[in-house]
Amino acid sequence: MGNSRPEIDDQLIAKYGGPGPRYTSYPTALEFSVEHRAEALIAALHAGNHELIPADLSVYVHVPFCASPCFYCGCNKVITRSSSIGDEYLRHLALEVQRLAAHVASDRKVRQIHLGGGTPTFLNLEQIEQLLTLISDHLVIALDAEISLEIDPRSVTADGLHRLAGMGFNRLSMGVQDLDQRVQQAVNRVHGEQLIDAQIKAARAAGFASISVDLIYGLPHQTRQSFADTMARMIAMRPDRLSLFNYAHMPHKFKAQRQIKAVDLPDADTKLAIFHQSMDQLLAAGYEYIGMDHFALPEDALARARQDGSMVRNFQGYSTLGDLDLLAFGPSAISQVGDTFSQNLHEYRAWCKALAATSTDNAGLAVMRGLTRSAEDRLRADVINAIMCRGALDFASVEAAHNIDFELHFAAELERLQTLQHDGLIRFSGRGLRITPVGQQLLRAIAMVFDSYIHAARSRQTDNSVQRFSRVI
């Protein structure tokens, strides 16, 4: 997008800015079936083992615990101050890792590990090291693996960051959300600006290759000026990546959000103004717009991956590493092996119970639901990934990969895209299309054109499920 943001008018926002999937998968998790069993995941692993060149692995571990609730949060979490629950969790995690890893060929290396949550640093340093050892005891970790974790800056010290780097962690993501004290108090996440600055400096000194910061706009008491101040102070700290998430107020779905008073939230116009002024600040400071709500410095690996076309989108968001099978552990975690998606039981105690059971039902795992993609799903997933990650679509490349006639197969979609071209979101060029700078701000709306599940629901007049997604902008 260069170093300036094109204006997007109210009519476009009204037309395209409504709820839509974030497309960390296609089909989305809304299409998962409870008829799906762990045996499908195991079969997919065995099939992958016998590929001519088996896919290497990404590992995600969901650590669901938090010591206190952040009122905005919609993540799967367990609020606890138990001193023993970490050890209990690791005992059950060991069962899950051992059972799933038994179906992975030894020549498939782990090239990416990410600990998410919850708050992974709820676990103490010894427990985190035990978790990494558990993975390395059962899977082969590549020497140059990307190993990352999310941290609450209040739950780890500068010395702790150095110890994490010594264990092999080389990337971290830090939840900041806002630096304004009034906003922090309203969402029950209070920390000082000095702490954030010290943590970023300590992580750099420890040798972390990339430091990412999460901010949220749309929180109570935020104003254009207050968030501009937060953004200016964050830019001064110069994190390598910055994510700017749109707060979705859904107290009917997330109990903690009932602590937030709707009257204290900025209105829709203010939220949009905050996002746009934040984008202006980031672009002026030299950050590159990666897509949706992600920004990165030009020298960061994510920005380079976007430039060379290797960036992908998966359950961990935008990623530099494609063509990996994802093994996910912990409650609610989602694995993707080939075309098979498998999600674990959501509740922590149910996850523990499933793994502790002596029965071999569901292969001794905690899989709750999932699906196996069809050839049509795979085709549309590739098209959506090209839109979300490369901002362009080459019809001939899609045809070569999937043995179709693009114009014939996607005749209805191409007809819908005419409206988007008229509105300036895309430009057709030869046998392909490119997303315009305006369209880059509405990527999800463009990708939805190719989502057959959404269009099937709309044709049945049952598209209420779309309302379960956050707004595009």
Q: Give pLDDT, residue 462.
A: 55
Give the C-alpha separation, 357 to 199, whole Å: 42
Residues 6+ apart with CB under 8 A from 92: 351, 352, 355, 356
Residues 151/120, Cβ–Cβ less than 8 Å = yes
Tokens standing for residue 357: 């059971």
Give backbone dihedrals phi and psi of 172, rounded to 5 degrees, phi first: -145, 155
Q: How confident is the model at residue 467 (pLDDT cuts 50, 70, 90)?
A: low
Residues 149/113, Cβ–Cβ less than 8 Å = no
| 253/375: higher pLDDT | 375
What is the pTM for the complete model shown?
0.94
pLDDT per position as a tens digit, 9-45: 778 888 998 888 999 999 999 999 999 999 999 999 9
Tokens standing for residue 94: 């060991």
Does 118 sit behind a cis peptide bond, omega within 30 degrees of 0 on the bond before it? yes
Q: Give pLDDT, residue 143.
A: 96
CB atoms near residue 358 (< 10 Å): 6
Residue 439 in this model has a pLDDT that exceeds 90 = yes
443-460 mean pLDDT: 90
Tokens standing for residue 418: 């005419």
As a whole number, the mean pLDDT across the chain is 93
Residue 290 in this model has a pLDDT that exceeds 80 = yes
Q: How confident is the model at residue 317 (pLDDT cuts 50, 70, 90)?
A: confident
pLDDT per position as a tens digit, 232-286: 999 999 999 999 999 989 898 899 999 999 999 999 889 989 999 999 999 999 9
DSSP secondary structure letter of residue 367: E
Residue 463 in this model has a pLDDT that exceeds 80 = no
Q: Give pLDDT, residue 138.
A: 98
Residue-range domains of the chain with CATH: 29-325 (3.80.30.20), 375-468 (1.10.10.920)
Q: How confident is the model at residue 395 (pLDDT cuts 50, 70, 90)?
A: very high
149-163 mean pLDDT: 95
Q: Give pLDDT, residue 459.
A: 73
199-214 mean pLDDT: 97
